[in-house]
Amino acid sequence: MNNRYTRRQSLKMLTAGLAVTLLPAMPRLAASKELLQKPFSADKTLPVIGLGTWQTFNVGTDPKLLAARTEVVSAFFEIGGGLIDSSPMYGSSPDTVGHALQQLGIPDTLFSAEKVWSPAGGSAHEQVANLLGRWKLEQFDLVQVHNLTDWREHLAALREMKQEGLIRYIGITTSHGRRHQEFEQILASEDIDFAQLTYNITHREVENRLLPLAREKGIAVIANRPYDGGRLIKGLKRRNESLPEWAEEECGCSTWADFLLKFIVSHPAITCAIPATTQVAHLRENMHAGMGTMPTASTRQKMVNFIESL
Amino acid sequence: MIFGSSYSLQDFVPFTADIYFRLLERMGETYWPLHLITIVLGMVALWLVLKQRLRLACLLIAPVWLFVAVAFFMRLYAELNWAGGYIAFAFLLQSALLLFLALTGIGLDDRSAKSHASIVGTFIALAGLIGLPVIGLLSDGSGLRAEVFGIHADPTSMTTLGLAIMISRGWLLWCISLIPALWLLYSGLTLWALGAPSAKLLLVVLFIALTGLFWKQLELSMLKHESHDQN
């Protein structure tokens, strides 16, 4: 899979990565219809909006829903998406992603992110081999230890696989603000490439210690539950809340998806957010948030104040 | 701030509402017109109970639970939820229990027609046999999402729970009601998490059924006391 990136694509990513690196810590990026990319290692970048699969891609063998999710994945790549995140805990989601990739072919931009956990049974090696079969891939870009389950054993096994070239990057995950102390210890002491955690405008605890530490250690951060499991954006829409007048001018927000996602991906330590959706229209809204002007530090504070005032 | 939360019920349901309702729709698509036979089967079972032919009624319902266990839980639901296999096992167990009652007659209440709790049982059985399919038909014009006794788990559990109140006594009253009641609770909570209005209906029916079960238990205890007094 190392060879999947074309020269043109690599140059594009490198340029984008350099652009982001050279910008100030809290860049107010020039308005653009290109999906913003952020660097995550010396010479790699990722589009700031990825695709989560929890609940939404667990469709079993239903041909109608498999076709619908393939359309979502197709639109994701069409707009320039990269990271797709799944887990053996997400039911048939890995199979659904595999089905879509089989139908669409494997795009150069794909950054496949999976997880291993313990109750699923079998070793990390067996789990990765099984998941590769379900995704119909030969190699994963990233494999993470799901919710820190048996993380010592799993990280050791993942490191071996990385050395053998079976996977490219390794990481750990948590969600819902669980086990942050242990998470911090692992970030501080272990050699990992990615950390996935819950971060959104109403759950910002990670700003205090985890995000600064990850940034200091050069660990890429994936933000899960960007809409707090959908409750955040549904709540705003249900209450018929309007965007503040300054949102469009200051950070190009025309939808709540823009507002909520731009807040997340504009944090300097966050590499990408992974909203999940079942609909192409929502996918397009999500991806739009990764384009154009991003909020500055002061605008981010205004965003927080606005949400807290509701 | 209006947005709090960390965990909610929704975080324990591994699929979205559209996926779950599509699952129910697939059962409708795959097995139509078996629905017509299973509804008739349910109606006949209720009629047999009202006519005190309890063992025959159990014999008619037992294969229905076997069918839902295999066709719905093992074949479809287990693809989405690891708990599906365990729920299928529970449905198979219920089928075996009904078959046991049909073959032995143990725990069947031959005075069921005289029981006041039977009125509650009949109401719940009819809610499962007619109420749920009609609501499904009204909410979805095509009728594909209409949940039907013998095809889908909710009406099957509801109808069986109603019949259980009518036909059984003693510890078997609770034994035969346990799995249908637990499924209604699980399904009601799932639908609640998915934001489906039918969740309230299921939970209300479950509450009425539990009231009926306790009422039946009370009636049986009173009858026992009366017979002791006469002795």
Q: Which residues pair with A47 in a beta bridge?
A: A37
In this complex, the residue of A91, A177, A228 whose CB is nearest that of residue B3 is A228
Q: Which amino acid is at A247?
A: A
In this complex, the residue of B2, B8, B15 whose CB is nearest that of residue A58 is B15
Residue B44, CA atoms < 13 Å, CB-side half-sphere: 14
The answer to whether the CB atoms of B11 and A176 lie below 8 A apart is yes
Give yes or no for a contact between B110 and B54, defined as CB atoms under 8 angstroms apart: yes
Contacting A with CB below 8 Å, chain B residues are 1-8, 10-11, 13-16, 18-19, 22-23, 26, 76, 79-82
pLDDT digits (tens, 9 = 90+) for B108-156: 887 766 678 889 999 999 999 999 999 888 877 667 778 999 999 999 9
Pairing, β A140-145 against β A111-116: parallel
- Expressed in percent and rounded to 5, the helix, strand and coil fractions of chain A are 45, 15, 40
**Per-residue pLDDT for chain A (310 aa), expressed as one digit of tens each?**
444 444 444 444 444 444 444 444 444 344 457 899 999 987 899 999 999 999 999 999 999 999 999 999 999 999 999 999 999 999 999 999 999 999 999 999 999 999 999 865 568 999 999 999 999 999 999 999 999 999 999 999 999 999 999 999 999 999 988 899 999 999 999 999 999 999 999 999 999 999 999 999 999 999 999 999 888 998 898 888 899 999 999 999 999 999 999 999 999 999 999 999 999 999 999 999 999 999 999 999 999 999 999 8
- State the DSSP string of A149-173: TTHHHHHHHHHHHHHTTSEEEEEEE
The answer to whether the CB atoms of A235 and B7 lie below 8 A apart is no
pLDDT at B230: 57
pLDDT at B116: 80
Q: Cα distance from B25 to chain A (closest Cα, Å)? A: 11
The answer to whether the CB atoms of B13 and A55 lie below 8 A apart is yes
b/e sequence B172-211, b meaning 16+ C-beta within 10 Å: bbebbbbbbbebbebbbbbbbbbebebbebbbebbebbbe
Q: What is the mean pLDDT of residues B182-210?
A: 95
pLDDT at B112: 63
Q: Cα distance from B94 to chain A (closest Cα, Å)? A: 26
Q: Cα distance from A158 to chain B (closest Cα, Å)? A: 25
In this complex, the residue of A56, A59, A176 whose CB is nearest that of residue B7 is A176
Distances (CA, A) of B109 to A62, B53, B156, B228: 44, 11, 21, 18
The region, left, alpha or beta by phi > 0 then psi within -120 to 50, assigned to residue A122 is left
CATH number at A36-309: 3.20.20.100
Give yes or no for a contact between A166 and A139, defined as CB atoms under 8 angstroms apart: yes
pLDDT at A121: 53
Six token digits for residue A43 = 């010479």
Residue B50, CA atoms < 13 Å, CB-side half-sphere: 13
Name chain B contacts of A177, Cβ cutoff 8 Å: 6
The answer to whether the CB atoms of B6 and A177 lie below 8 A apart is yes
Q: Cα distance from B16 to chain A (closest Cα, Å)? A: 6
Q: Which amino acid is at A232?
A: L
Q: Cα distance from A228 to chain B (closest Cα, Å)? A: 8
Give yes or no for a contact between A12 and A109, defined as CB atoms under 8 angstroms apart: no
In this complex, the residue of B4, B8, B22 whose CB is nearest that of residue A62 is B22
What distance in Å separates the CA atoms of residue A145 and residue A171, rounded to the nearest whole number?
6
Q: Which residues pair with A224 in a beta bridge?
A: A198
Query: In which band, very low, low, confident or very high, does the pLDDT at B219 lie, cut at 50, 70 and 90?
Result: confident
pLDDT digits (tens, 9 = 90+) for B145-191: 789 999 999 999 999 999 999 998 888 889 999 999 999 999 999 99
Q: Which residue from B minimizes the CA distance to A277?
A: B16
The answer to whether the CB atoms of A64 and B22 lie below 8 A apart is yes
pLDDT at B221: 80
In this complex, the residue of A92, A231, A308 whose CB is nearest that of residue B79 is A92
In this complex, the residue of A65, A177, A235 whose CB is nearest that of residue B19 is A65
Residue B13 has pLDDT above 60, yes or no: yes
Residue B17 has pLDDT above 90, yes or no: yes
The answer to whether the CB atoms of A90 and B14 lie below 8 A apart is yes
Name chain B contacts of A59, Cβ cutoff 8 Å: 15, 19, 22, 80
Domain ranges across chain B: 32-220
pLDDT digits (tens, 9 = 90+) for B75-100: 999 999 999 999 999 999 999 999 99
What distance in Å separates the CA atoms of residue A33 and residue A5, rounded to the nearest whole number?
22
Q: Is A197 in a helix, a strand, or coil?
A: strand
What distance in Å separates the CA atoms of residue A180 and residue A182, rounded to the nearest whole number?
5
Nearest to B90 by CA among B181, B200, B210, B193: B181
Give yes or no for a contact between A265 and A27, defined as CB atoms under 8 angstroms apart: no
The answer to whether the CB atoms of A278 and B14 lie below 8 A apart is no
Q: Which amino acid is at A55?
A: Q
Nearest to B176 by CA among B193, B196, B162, B194: B162
pLDDT at B47: 95
The reported pTM is 0.87
Q: Cα distance from B83 to chain A (closest Cα, Å)? A: 10
Instruction: Write phi, then psi, for A18 (nearest 5 degrees).
Output: -60, -40
Six token digits for residue B173 = 């009253």
What ranges make up the beta strands (E) of A218-259?
220-224
Give yes or no for a contact between B180 and B125, defined as CB atoms under 8 angstroms apart: no
Name chain A contacts of B1, Cβ cutoff 8 Å: 202, 307-308, 310
pLDDT at A15: 43
What distance in Å separates the CA atoms of residue B104 and residue A48, rounded to the nearest whole number?
66
The answer to whether the CB atoms of B79 and A91 lie below 8 A apart is yes
Nearest to B51 by CA among B103, B113, B121, B124: B113
Nearest to B46 by CA among B165, B178, B182: B165
Q: Which of B20, B21, B80, B142 to mutate to test the interface with A (most CBs of A within 10 A)?
A: B80
Give yes or no for a contact between A149 and A118, defined as CB atoms under 8 angstroms apart: yes
Q: Which residue from A minimizes the CA distance to B30?
A: A62
**ipTM entry:** 0.87
Nearest to A265 by CA among A277, A252, A278: A252
Q: Is A114 in a helix, a strand, or coil?
A: strand
b/e sequence A166-180, b meaning 16+ C-beta within 10 Å: bbbbbbbbbbbbebb
